[in-house]
Structure 1
Amino acid sequence: MSAPTPPGHAVADLLGLVALGELLAFDRMAADARLAPDLRRRAALSEMAAAEIANYRRVADRLTALGVPPDDAMAAYVMPLQAYHDSTEPRDWAEAVTKAYVGDAITDDFLRGIAVALGEPDRQLVLDVLHESRYAEFAAAEIRLAVAADPTVAGRLSMWARRLVGEALSQAGRVATADHGALTMLIAAGGDVDVAELFRRLTAAHTARMAAVGLNN
Protein backbone atom coordinates (compact mmCIF):
# COMPACT_ATOMS: atom_id res chain seq x y z
CA MET A 1 0.00 0.00 0.00
CA SER A 2 1.41 3.41 -0.96
CA ALA A 3 1.79 6.11 1.66
CA PRO A 4 -0.84 8.87 1.65
CA THR A 5 0.05 12.02 -0.25
CA PRO A 6 1.47 14.59 2.18
CA PRO A 7 -0.53 17.81 2.50
CA GLY A 8 0.78 20.83 0.63
CA HIS A 9 1.66 22.80 3.75
CA ALA A 10 3.78 19.87 4.97
CA VAL A 11 5.70 19.83 1.69
CA ALA A 12 6.29 23.58 2.01
CA ASP A 13 7.43 23.02 5.59
CA LEU A 14 10.19 20.65 4.50
CA LEU A 15 11.18 22.83 1.56
CA GLY A 16 11.43 25.76 3.98
CA LEU A 17 13.83 23.73 6.10
CA VAL A 18 15.92 22.88 3.04
CA ALA A 19 15.94 26.48 1.81
CA LEU A 20 17.10 27.88 5.14
CA GLY A 21 19.75 25.19 5.43
CA GLU A 22 21.13 26.19 2.05
CA LEU A 23 21.06 29.90 2.92
CA LEU A 24 22.86 29.42 6.23
CA ALA A 25 25.37 27.05 4.62
CA PHE A 26 26.22 29.81 2.13
CA ASP A 27 26.76 32.29 4.96
CA ARG A 28 28.94 29.88 6.88
CA MET A 29 31.07 28.67 3.96
CA ALA A 30 31.67 32.20 2.69
CA ALA A 31 32.91 33.21 6.14
CA ASP A 32 34.94 30.04 6.68
CA ALA A 33 36.73 30.51 3.34
CA ARG A 34 38.69 33.33 4.98
CA LEU A 35 40.24 30.74 7.30
CA ALA A 36 41.84 28.93 4.35
CA PRO A 37 45.66 28.74 4.44
CA ASP A 38 46.01 29.60 0.74
CA LEU A 39 44.05 30.97 -2.20
CA ARG A 40 43.44 27.56 -3.78
CA ARG A 41 41.62 26.34 -0.71
CA ARG A 42 39.85 29.66 -0.25
CA ALA A 43 38.56 29.43 -3.82
CA ALA A 44 37.42 25.83 -3.30
CA LEU A 45 35.31 26.69 -0.27
CA SER A 46 34.00 29.82 -1.98
CA GLU A 47 32.84 27.64 -4.88
CA MET A 48 30.99 25.45 -2.39
CA ALA A 49 29.32 28.56 -0.99
CA ALA A 50 28.26 29.63 -4.48
CA ALA A 51 26.66 26.23 -5.02
CA GLU A 52 24.72 26.61 -1.77
CA ILE A 53 23.17 29.93 -2.78
CA ALA A 54 22.28 28.52 -6.20
CA ASN A 55 20.54 25.63 -4.45
CA TYR A 56 18.71 28.07 -2.19
CA ARG A 57 17.37 29.87 -5.24
CA ARG A 58 16.04 26.61 -6.73
CA VAL A 59 14.16 25.73 -3.56
CA ALA A 60 12.92 29.30 -3.04
CA ASP A 61 11.61 29.35 -6.61
CA ARG A 62 9.74 26.10 -5.99
CA LEU A 63 8.16 27.50 -2.83
CA THR A 64 7.07 30.57 -4.76
CA ALA A 65 5.55 28.35 -7.44
CA LEU A 66 3.59 26.59 -4.68
CA GLY A 67 2.25 29.94 -3.53
CA VAL A 68 4.31 30.03 -0.33
CA PRO A 69 6.61 33.00 0.38
CA PRO A 70 10.07 31.53 1.09
CA ASP A 71 10.50 33.77 4.15
CA ASP A 72 7.33 32.33 5.68
CA ALA A 73 8.37 28.74 4.97
CA MET A 74 11.80 29.25 6.54
CA ALA A 75 10.74 31.25 9.60
CA ALA A 76 9.95 28.30 11.89
CA TYR A 77 13.46 26.87 11.49
CA VAL A 78 15.55 29.97 12.09
CA MET A 79 16.09 29.36 15.81
CA PRO A 80 17.22 25.69 15.71
CA LEU A 81 19.43 26.05 12.63
CA GLN A 82 20.97 29.32 13.74
CA ALA A 83 21.53 27.83 17.20
CA TYR A 84 23.49 24.98 15.60
CA HIS A 85 25.74 27.31 13.62
CA ASP A 86 26.21 29.74 16.50
CA SER A 87 27.28 26.93 18.85
CA THR A 88 29.68 25.35 16.33
CA GLU A 89 31.77 28.27 15.09
CA PRO A 90 35.11 26.87 13.82
CA ARG A 91 38.31 28.38 15.17
CA ASP A 92 40.60 27.43 12.29
CA TRP A 93 40.72 25.83 8.85
CA ALA A 94 40.86 22.25 10.14
CA GLU A 95 37.72 22.78 12.22
CA ALA A 96 36.00 24.51 9.27
CA VAL A 97 36.53 21.60 6.88
CA THR A 98 35.58 19.11 9.61
CA LYS A 99 32.32 20.98 10.05
CA ALA A 100 31.75 20.83 6.30
CA TYR A 101 32.55 17.11 6.27
CA VAL A 102 30.59 16.08 9.38
CA GLY A 103 27.82 18.64 9.72
CA ASP A 104 26.81 18.79 6.08
CA ALA A 105 26.77 15.02 5.80
CA ILE A 106 24.51 14.64 8.84
CA THR A 107 22.14 17.24 7.37
CA ASP A 108 22.12 15.51 3.99
CA ASP A 109 21.42 12.11 5.53
CA PHE A 110 18.56 13.58 7.56
CA LEU A 111 16.96 15.28 4.56
CA ARG A 112 17.49 12.24 2.35
CA GLY A 113 15.70 10.12 4.92
CA ILE A 114 12.70 12.43 5.12
CA ALA A 115 12.53 13.14 1.37
CA VAL A 116 11.16 9.64 0.75
CA ALA A 117 7.81 10.99 2.02
CA LEU A 118 7.63 13.58 -0.78
CA GLY A 119 6.04 13.21 -4.17
CA GLU A 120 7.62 14.45 -7.36
CA PRO A 121 9.01 16.90 -8.34
CA ASP A 122 9.77 17.89 -4.75
CA ARG A 123 11.52 14.66 -3.78
CA GLN A 124 13.97 14.97 -6.66
CA LEU A 125 14.52 18.65 -5.93
CA VAL A 126 15.57 17.88 -2.36
CA LEU A 127 17.88 15.10 -3.53
CA ASP A 128 19.36 17.36 -6.23
CA VAL A 129 20.37 20.11 -3.79
CA LEU A 130 22.15 17.81 -1.36
CA HIS A 131 25.90 18.37 -1.27
CA GLU A 132 27.94 16.93 -4.10
CA SER A 133 30.36 14.13 -3.25
CA ARG A 134 33.31 16.16 -4.52
CA TYR A 135 32.79 18.62 -1.68
CA ALA A 136 32.87 15.84 0.89
CA GLU A 137 35.97 14.44 -0.81
CA PHE A 138 37.68 17.84 -0.65
CA ALA A 139 36.89 18.23 3.06
CA ALA A 140 38.00 14.66 3.80
CA ALA A 141 41.29 15.20 1.99
CA GLU A 142 41.93 18.38 3.97
CA ILE A 143 41.29 16.58 7.28
CA ARG A 144 43.70 13.80 6.32
CA LEU A 145 46.36 16.37 5.37
CA ALA A 146 45.95 18.16 8.70
CA VAL A 147 46.30 14.89 10.63
CA ALA A 148 49.30 13.80 8.56
CA ALA A 149 51.04 17.11 9.18
CA ASP A 150 50.39 16.96 12.93
CA PRO A 151 49.02 13.67 14.35
CA THR A 152 48.03 15.41 17.59
CA VAL A 153 45.36 17.27 15.60
CA ALA A 154 43.38 14.03 15.32
CA GLY A 155 42.35 14.14 18.96
CA ARG A 156 41.17 17.74 18.79
CA LEU A 157 39.26 17.18 15.55
CA SER A 158 37.70 13.98 16.92
CA MET A 159 36.34 15.91 19.89
CA TRP A 160 35.16 18.69 17.58
CA ALA A 161 33.38 16.20 15.33
CA ARG A 162 31.65 14.60 18.30
CA ARG A 163 30.42 18.03 19.35
CA LEU A 164 29.22 18.76 15.83
CA VAL A 165 27.26 15.54 15.51
CA GLY A 166 25.78 15.93 18.98
CA GLU A 167 24.56 19.44 18.19
CA ALA A 168 23.32 18.42 14.74
CA LEU A 169 21.37 15.42 16.03
CA SER A 170 19.90 17.48 18.86
CA GLN A 171 18.59 20.13 16.50
CA ALA A 172 17.44 17.54 13.96
CA GLY A 173 15.50 15.82 16.72
CA ARG A 174 13.74 19.07 17.56
CA VAL A 175 12.88 19.62 13.91
CA ALA A 176 11.68 16.05 13.33
CA THR A 177 9.46 15.69 16.36
CA ALA A 178 8.25 18.43 18.63
CA ASP A 179 8.69 21.80 17.00
CA HIS A 180 6.97 21.69 13.64
CA GLY A 181 3.53 20.14 13.29
CA ALA A 182 3.41 20.19 9.51
CA LEU A 183 6.76 18.48 9.18
CA THR A 184 5.69 15.84 11.70
CA MET A 185 2.62 15.25 9.52
CA LEU A 186 4.88 14.82 6.51
CA ILE A 187 6.99 12.22 8.31
CA ALA A 188 3.82 10.42 9.39
CA ALA A 189 2.46 10.52 5.83
CA GLY A 190 5.61 8.90 4.51
CA GLY A 191 5.22 5.32 5.64
CA ASP A 192 8.88 4.60 4.94
CA VAL A 193 10.11 7.19 7.48
CA ASP A 194 10.88 5.64 10.86
CA VAL A 195 12.40 8.45 12.93
CA ALA A 196 14.15 6.17 15.42
CA GLU A 197 15.63 4.07 12.61
CA LEU A 198 16.58 7.21 10.70
CA PHE A 199 18.62 8.46 13.66
CA ARG A 200 20.30 5.07 14.02
CA ARG A 201 21.33 5.28 10.37
CA LEU A 202 22.60 8.82 10.83
CA THR A 203 24.78 7.71 13.73
CA ALA A 204 26.13 4.66 11.88
CA ALA A 205 26.98 6.72 8.80
CA HIS A 206 28.75 9.29 10.96
CA THR A 207 30.86 6.57 12.58
CA ALA A 208 31.93 5.33 9.15
CA ARG A 209 32.83 8.83 7.98
CA MET A 210 34.95 9.45 11.05
CA ALA A 211 36.90 6.26 10.49
CA ALA A 212 37.43 7.14 6.83
CA VAL A 213 39.44 10.25 7.76
CA GLY A 214 41.31 8.76 10.70
CA LEU A 215 39.25 10.30 13.49
CA ASN A 216 37.84 8.55 16.55
CA ASN A 217 34.10 8.43 17.09
Structure 2
Amino acid sequence: MNTRTTSRSPRMRRRRLAVTAAALALAVIVAFAVQQSLSVAFADAARPGTLPVPTDRPAEGGTAGTGTGSVITPSEADGVIRDGDQPTVFDVDRVAVGNLDPALLAALQRAASDAEGDGVTFRVNSGWRTPALQERMLQDAIVQYGSEAEARRWVATAETSEHVTGDAVDLGPLPALDWLTQRGWRYGLCQIYANETWHYELRPDAVDEGCPEMLADPTVDPRTKR
Protein backbone atom coordinates (compact mmCIF):
# COMPACT_ATOMS: atom_id res chain seq x y z
CA MET A 1 0.00 0.00 0.00
CA ASN A 2 1.24 3.49 -0.85
CA THR A 3 0.91 5.16 2.55
CA ARG A 4 1.94 8.52 1.19
CA THR A 5 -0.91 8.55 -1.33
CA THR A 6 -3.41 7.26 1.22
CA SER A 7 -2.56 9.93 3.77
CA ARG A 8 -2.92 12.72 1.25
CA SER A 9 -6.28 11.59 -0.18
CA PRO A 10 -8.55 12.87 2.63
CA ARG A 11 -6.59 16.11 2.76
CA MET A 12 -7.00 16.61 -0.98
CA ARG A 13 -10.71 15.87 -0.79
CA ARG A 14 -11.14 18.40 1.99
CA ARG A 15 -9.23 20.95 -0.05
CA ARG A 16 -11.43 20.35 -3.11
CA LEU A 17 -14.58 20.67 -0.99
CA ALA A 18 -13.31 23.93 0.49
CA VAL A 19 -12.60 25.35 -2.99
CA THR A 20 -16.05 24.28 -4.24
CA ALA A 21 -17.79 25.85 -1.23
CA ALA A 22 -15.87 29.10 -1.72
CA ALA A 23 -16.84 29.22 -5.39
CA LEU A 24 -20.51 28.70 -4.57
CA ALA A 25 -20.42 31.39 -1.91
CA LEU A 26 -18.82 33.83 -4.36
CA ALA A 27 -21.49 33.07 -6.96
CA VAL A 28 -24.26 33.83 -4.47
CA ILE A 29 -22.61 37.09 -3.42
CA VAL A 30 -22.18 38.24 -7.03
CA ALA A 31 -25.77 37.35 -7.91
CA PHE A 32 -27.05 39.15 -4.82
CA ALA A 33 -25.05 42.23 -5.80
CA VAL A 34 -26.80 42.20 -9.18
CA GLN A 35 -30.16 41.93 -7.44
CA GLN A 36 -29.34 44.90 -5.23
CA SER A 37 -28.34 46.92 -8.28
CA LEU A 38 -31.64 46.13 -9.95
CA SER A 39 -33.58 46.89 -6.76
CA VAL A 40 -31.96 50.32 -6.49
CA ALA A 41 -32.72 51.08 -10.13
CA PHE A 42 -36.36 50.05 -9.75
CA ALA A 43 -36.71 51.94 -6.49
CA ASP A 44 -35.40 55.02 -8.31
CA ALA A 45 -38.17 54.50 -10.84
CA ALA A 46 -40.65 55.19 -8.05
CA ARG A 47 -39.22 58.69 -7.58
CA PRO A 48 -40.31 61.16 -10.27
CA GLY A 49 -37.64 62.53 -12.55
CA THR A 50 -34.84 60.09 -11.68
CA LEU A 51 -35.16 57.96 -14.81
CA PRO A 52 -36.51 58.75 -18.28
CA VAL A 53 -40.12 57.99 -19.08
CA PRO A 54 -40.31 55.16 -21.65
CA THR A 55 -40.60 56.60 -25.15
CA ASP A 56 -42.16 53.64 -26.95
CA ARG A 57 -45.64 54.75 -25.93
CA PRO A 58 -47.11 58.12 -24.87
CA ALA A 59 -47.30 59.05 -21.22
CA GLU A 60 -50.76 60.56 -21.65
CA GLY A 61 -53.54 58.22 -20.63
CA GLY A 62 -51.25 55.55 -19.19
CA THR A 63 -52.47 54.18 -15.89
CA ALA A 64 -51.12 51.60 -13.51
CA GLY A 65 -52.58 48.14 -13.84
CA THR A 66 -54.07 48.58 -17.33
CA GLY A 67 -51.15 47.14 -19.29
CA THR A 68 -51.15 50.22 -21.52
CA GLY A 69 -49.27 53.49 -21.25
CA SER A 70 -46.45 53.88 -18.76
CA VAL A 71 -46.15 54.41 -15.04
CA ILE A 72 -44.66 57.85 -14.51
CA THR A 73 -44.78 57.64 -10.71
CA PRO A 74 -45.21 54.01 -9.65
CA SER A 75 -46.68 53.45 -6.21
CA GLU A 76 -47.29 50.60 -3.80
CA ALA A 77 -50.61 50.05 -5.56
CA ASP A 78 -48.58 48.95 -8.59
CA GLY A 79 -46.49 46.55 -6.52
CA VAL A 80 -43.54 48.86 -5.88
CA ILE A 81 -41.39 47.92 -2.89
CA ARG A 82 -38.96 50.65 -1.98
CA ASP A 83 -35.43 49.90 -0.89
CA GLY A 84 -35.26 49.64 2.90
CA ASP A 85 -38.98 48.94 3.27
CA GLN A 86 -39.16 45.27 2.27
CA PRO A 87 -42.15 43.45 3.79
CA THR A 88 -42.15 39.88 5.06
CA VAL A 89 -44.25 37.18 3.41
CA PHE A 90 -46.82 37.69 6.17
CA ASP A 91 -47.46 41.37 5.31
CA VAL A 92 -50.43 40.61 3.09
CA ASP A 93 -51.73 44.17 3.43
CA ARG A 94 -48.98 45.10 0.96
CA VAL A 95 -50.37 44.31 -2.49
CA ALA A 96 -46.99 43.04 -3.71
CA VAL A 97 -47.42 40.25 -1.14
CA GLY A 98 -51.19 39.92 -0.79
CA ASN A 99 -51.75 39.59 -4.55
CA LEU A 100 -49.39 36.63 -4.91
CA ASP A 101 -50.93 33.33 -5.98
CA PRO A 102 -52.53 31.84 -2.83
CA ALA A 103 -50.68 28.51 -3.17
CA LEU A 104 -47.33 30.26 -3.60
CA LEU A 105 -48.02 32.56 -0.66
CA ALA A 106 -49.02 29.64 1.57
CA ALA A 107 -45.80 27.78 0.72
CA LEU A 108 -43.75 30.91 1.41
CA GLN A 109 -45.40 31.39 4.78
CA ARG A 110 -44.84 27.77 5.79
CA ALA A 111 -41.18 28.00 4.84
CA ALA A 112 -40.77 31.39 6.52
CA SER A 113 -42.30 30.10 9.76
CA ASP A 114 -39.77 27.25 9.84
CA ALA A 115 -36.92 29.57 8.87
CA GLU A 116 -37.74 31.88 11.77
CA GLY A 117 -36.88 28.98 14.06
CA ASP A 118 -33.38 29.10 12.58
CA GLY A 119 -33.16 32.86 13.08
CA VAL A 120 -33.78 33.61 9.38
CA THR A 121 -36.34 36.12 8.12
CA PHE A 122 -37.66 36.20 4.54
CA ARG A 123 -37.96 39.66 2.98
CA VAL A 124 -39.85 40.32 -0.24
CA ASN A 125 -37.86 42.52 -2.61
CA SER A 126 -40.47 42.21 -5.34
CA GLY A 127 -43.69 40.23 -5.71
CA TRP A 128 -46.86 40.90 -7.65
CA ARG A 129 -46.68 43.80 -10.12
CA THR A 130 -49.12 45.55 -12.43
CA PRO A 131 -48.51 45.11 -16.19
CA ALA A 132 -47.72 48.82 -16.49
CA LEU A 133 -45.08 48.64 -13.75
CA GLN A 134 -43.53 45.58 -15.39
CA GLU A 135 -43.29 47.46 -18.67
CA ARG A 136 -41.72 50.43 -16.91
CA MET A 137 -39.17 48.16 -15.26
CA LEU A 138 -38.27 46.62 -18.61
CA GLN A 139 -37.78 50.04 -20.20
CA ASP A 140 -35.63 51.17 -17.26
CA ALA A 141 -33.57 47.98 -17.55
CA ILE A 142 -32.99 48.72 -21.24
CA VAL A 143 -31.63 52.12 -20.25
CA GLN A 144 -29.48 50.56 -17.51
CA TYR A 145 -28.05 47.70 -19.59
CA GLY A 146 -27.89 49.43 -22.96
CA SER A 147 -29.94 46.98 -25.00
CA GLU A 148 -33.23 45.13 -24.89
CA ALA A 149 -31.47 41.80 -25.38
CA GLU A 150 -29.42 42.24 -22.20
CA ALA A 151 -32.34 43.72 -20.27
CA ARG A 152 -34.50 40.71 -21.11
CA ARG A 153 -32.01 38.49 -19.27
CA TRP A 154 -33.28 40.13 -16.08
CA VAL A 155 -36.75 41.55 -16.75
CA ALA A 156 -39.55 39.87 -18.69
CA THR A 157 -42.24 41.65 -20.67
CA ALA A 158 -45.57 42.51 -19.09
CA GLU A 159 -47.18 39.80 -21.23
CA THR A 160 -44.87 37.01 -20.05
CA SER A 161 -43.81 37.99 -16.52
CA GLU A 162 -44.69 35.57 -13.73
CA HIS A 163 -44.67 38.55 -11.38
CA VAL A 164 -47.66 40.07 -13.19
CA THR A 165 -49.67 36.89 -12.65
CA GLY A 166 -48.52 36.65 -9.04
CA ASP A 167 -46.63 33.40 -9.62
CA ALA A 168 -43.12 34.64 -8.75
CA VAL A 169 -41.41 36.39 -5.87
CA ASP A 170 -37.96 37.89 -5.39
CA LEU A 171 -36.60 37.22 -1.91
CA GLY A 172 -33.73 38.22 0.34
CA PRO A 173 -31.50 38.76 2.23
CA LEU A 174 -28.58 36.38 1.72
CA PRO A 175 -29.30 34.16 4.77
CA ALA A 176 -32.84 33.59 3.46
CA LEU A 177 -31.52 32.65 0.02
CA ASP A 178 -29.02 30.27 1.57
CA TRP A 179 -31.77 28.69 3.68
CA LEU A 180 -33.99 28.22 0.63
CA THR A 181 -31.16 26.79 -1.45
CA GLN A 182 -30.86 23.99 1.07
CA ARG A 183 -34.51 23.48 2.02
CA GLY A 184 -36.82 25.26 -0.44
CA TRP A 185 -37.69 22.07 -2.34
CA ARG A 186 -39.38 20.71 0.77
CA TYR A 187 -42.03 23.40 0.34
CA GLY A 188 -42.14 23.27 -3.46
CA LEU A 189 -40.18 26.54 -3.65
CA CYS A 190 -37.62 26.51 -6.44
CA GLN A 191 -35.08 28.89 -7.91
CA ILE A 192 -35.93 29.00 -11.61
CA TYR A 193 -33.07 30.93 -13.21
CA ALA A 194 -29.37 30.34 -12.58
CA ASN A 195 -28.63 34.07 -12.86
CA GLU A 196 -31.37 35.08 -10.38
CA THR A 197 -30.74 33.47 -7.01
CA TRP A 198 -33.55 35.58 -5.54
CA HIS A 199 -36.35 34.56 -7.98
CA TYR A 200 -38.58 31.78 -6.63
CA GLU A 201 -41.68 30.08 -7.98
CA LEU A 202 -43.88 27.25 -6.77
CA ARG A 203 -43.22 23.77 -8.15
CA PRO A 204 -45.39 21.38 -6.09
CA ASP A 205 -43.74 18.26 -7.57
CA ALA A 206 -40.43 19.36 -6.05
CA VAL A 207 -41.59 18.05 -2.67
CA ASP A 208 -41.24 14.50 -4.01
CA GLU A 209 -38.94 14.92 -7.01
CA GLY A 210 -36.73 17.87 -6.14
CA CYS A 211 -36.58 21.16 -8.02
CA PRO A 212 -36.20 21.01 -11.81
CA GLU A 213 -32.93 21.95 -13.45
CA MET A 214 -32.50 25.72 -13.53
CA LEU A 215 -32.65 27.69 -16.76
CA ALA A 216 -29.71 29.97 -17.57
CA ASP A 217 -31.89 33.11 -17.57
CA PRO A 218 -35.40 34.22 -18.61
CA THR A 219 -34.49 34.47 -22.30
CA VAL A 220 -34.35 30.66 -22.60
CA ASP A 221 -37.61 30.13 -20.71
CA PRO A 222 -40.31 28.89 -23.13
CA ARG A 223 -42.85 30.94 -21.19
CA THR A 224 -41.19 34.21 -22.21
CA LYS A 225 -41.74 33.32 -25.87
CA ARG A 226 -45.49 32.79 -25.70
Q: What TM-score, normalized to structure 1?
A: 0.32
Q: Which has the higher contact order (CA 8 A, sep 6+)?
A: 1
* Structure of higher CA gyration radius: 2
Q: What TM-score, normalized to structure 2?
A: 0.31
More strand by share: 2
